[in-house]
């Protein structure tokens, strides 16, 4: 929609063409200010040395004026869920995405959601990959992700499949999202997926660059820096009941939009059996600069 994270950071073909030098200088003046910047130094450096480095290289960076930052406008409401088919008659495969609003990174439900997402679509042994690839051979892979920032982010599941199996894949994703909220995750499966999260985190913090990257994320997301030491115990503290209740609230596909991009004539009739409200947009008419997409 029109919320903060509703536009691609890389822009769109039309928006990039319209950019001017004045747009770039205005964006730089608006965004690159010391009052909204954080300097992170990670490594064999003392606080005193870090201060000297900062003074040497950034000491002359001063606030241009004392004007106060305008209060942030309230975020608009989330758009209603939609089922969108982008018709590309020459497409050899169909891309399938099921996405819904998520949470902020600082939300207390972040860790149960992170574990639930790893059960759902985090890696080869996740439920989506088991059902879509391993059991049925409908895709090379299927996964899900959680994007959680300072503002409410996105939860999505996605894959690519043969055009004729697109509707079946939509149904499988829907079923797995519902399943997580309907029944507790078995303890053995939960522990395996927790180990995936902890292992990924451990590999990241093995390097100073990795630690700096995580701390930079915390700064932007409004999360205390000492969260670094709490990450592993908080992942370990998630139990099956927390995964189930969080999934029921945040993975319910009723609040999700479905997007299928491919040769519509090969899957639209089957898709409309479950989703008669599906709207079709010819690929040539897609407008990426508006939430309506046309």
pLDDT in tens, 166-190: 999 999 999 999 999 999 999 999 9
What residues contact 255, with CB distance under 8 A and at least 6 apart?
81, 100, 101
User: Residue 69: is it exposed, middle or buried by C-beta count within 10 angstroms (0-12/13-18/19+)?
Assistant: exposed
First and final C-alpha spacing in the chain: 13
Residue 20's Cβ-count burial label (10 Å; 0-12, 13-18, 19+) is exposed
Please name which of 140, 146, 147 lies closest in space to residue 124, comparing C-alpha atoms. 140
Q: Is the distance from CB of 267 to CB of 94 less than 8 angstroms? A: yes
Domain of 109, CATH number, reads 3.30.830.10
What is d(CA 86, CA 7) in angstroms, rounded to the nearest whole number?
Answer: 18
Residue 166 domain-assigned (yes or no): yes
Question: Is 185 inside a domain boundary?
Answer: yes
Could you list the residue range(s) of the whole structural domain that residue 197 is in? Answer: 83-285
Could you tell me if residue 257 is inside a domain? yes
d(CA 74, CA 71) in angstroms, rounded, equals 9
State the Cα–Cα distance between residues 166 and 258, nearest whole angstrom.
11
* Whether the Cβ atoms of residue 98 and residue 156 lie closer than 8 Å to each other: yes
Q: Write the pLDDT tens digit of every residue in 211-243.
A: 999 999 999 999 999 999 999 999 999 999 999
Number of domains in the chain: 1
For 147-158, the pLDDT digits (tens) are 999 999 999 999
**Which position has the higher pLDDT, 246 or 6?**
246
Confidence of residue 70 (pLDDT cuts 50, 70, 90): low
Instruction: Give the pLDDT confidence score for residue 71 in this predicted structure.
Output: 58
pLDDT at 69 exceeding the cut of 90: no
Asked if residue 93 belongs to a domain, the reply is: yes
- CA-to-CA distance for 251 and 120, rounded, in angstroms? 10
Query: Could you tell me the CA-to-CA distances from 124 to 10, 144, 161, 260 in Å, in that order?
Result: 29, 11, 16, 23
Is 28 contained in some domain? Answer: no
How far apart, in whole angstroms, are the C-alpha atoms of residue 157 and residue 238?
A: 22
**Does the residue 225 lie in any domain?**
yes
pTM score: 0.91
Q: How far apart are CA 46 and CA 252, in angstroms?
A: 48
What are 129-137's contacts with CB under 8 Å, separation 24+? 131/172, 131/175, 131/176, 132/159, 132/161, 132/169, 132/172, 132/173, 136/168, 136/172
Residue 15 has pLDDT above 80, yes or no: yes
State mean pLDDT over 276-289: 96
Quote the tokens at residue 252: 């319910």
Asked if 231 contacts 201 with a C-beta cutoff of 8 angstroms, the reply is yes
Rounded to the nearest 10°, the torsion over CA 61, 63, 64, 66 is -170
Domain-embedded: residue 242? yes
Whether the pLDDT of residue 115 is over 70: the answer is yes
Helix (H) or strand (E) holding 217: helix 208-221
* Position 7 confidence tier, pLDDT thresholds 50, 70, 90: confident
How far apart, in whole angstroms, are the C-alpha atoms of residue 93 and residue 262?
6
Cα(133)–Cα(169) distance, integer angstroms: 10
What pLDDT sits at residue 46?
Answer: 97
64 band by pLDDT with thresholds 50, 70 and 90: low
In a domain, 76, yes or no: no
With 80 as the cut, is the pLDDT of residue 73 above it? no
């Amino acid at each position: 929609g029109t919320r903060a994270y509703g536009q691609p950071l890389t822009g769109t073909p039309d928006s990039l063409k319209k950019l001017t030098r004045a747009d770039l200088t205005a964006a730089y003046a608006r965004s690159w200010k010391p009052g909204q910047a954080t300097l992170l130094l990670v490594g064999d450096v003392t606080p005193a040395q870090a201060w000297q480095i900062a003074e040497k290289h950034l000491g002359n960076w001063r606030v241009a004026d004392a004007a106060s930052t305008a209060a942030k406008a309230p975020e608009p409401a989330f758009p209603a869920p939609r089922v969108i088919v982008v018709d590309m008659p020459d497409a050899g495969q169909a891309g399938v995405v099921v996405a819904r609003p998520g949470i902020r990174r600082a939300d207390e439900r972040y860790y149960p959601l992170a574990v639930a997402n790893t059960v759902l679509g985090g890696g080869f042994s996740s439920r989506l990959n088991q059902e879509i690839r391993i059991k049925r051979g409908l895709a090379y892979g299927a996964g899900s992700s959680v994007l959680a920032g300072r503002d409410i982010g996105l939860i999505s599941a996605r894959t690519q499949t043969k055009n004729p199996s697109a509707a079946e894949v939509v149904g499988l994703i829907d079923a797995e999202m519902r399943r997580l909220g309907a029944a507790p995750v078995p303890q053995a499966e939960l522990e395996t997926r927790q180990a995936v999260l902890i292992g990924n985190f451990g590999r990241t913090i093995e390097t100073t660059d990795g630690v700096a990257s995580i701390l930079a994320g915390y700064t932007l997301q409004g999360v205390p820096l000492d969260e670094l030491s709490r990450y592993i115990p908080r992942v370990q503290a998630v139990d099956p009941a927390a995964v189930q209740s969080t999934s029921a609230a945040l993975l319910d596909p009723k609040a999700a939009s479905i997007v299928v991009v491919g040769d519509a004539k090969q899957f639209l009739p089957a898709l409309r059996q479950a989703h008669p409200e599906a709207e079709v947009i010819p690929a040539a008419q897609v407008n990426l600069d508006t939430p309506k997409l046309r």
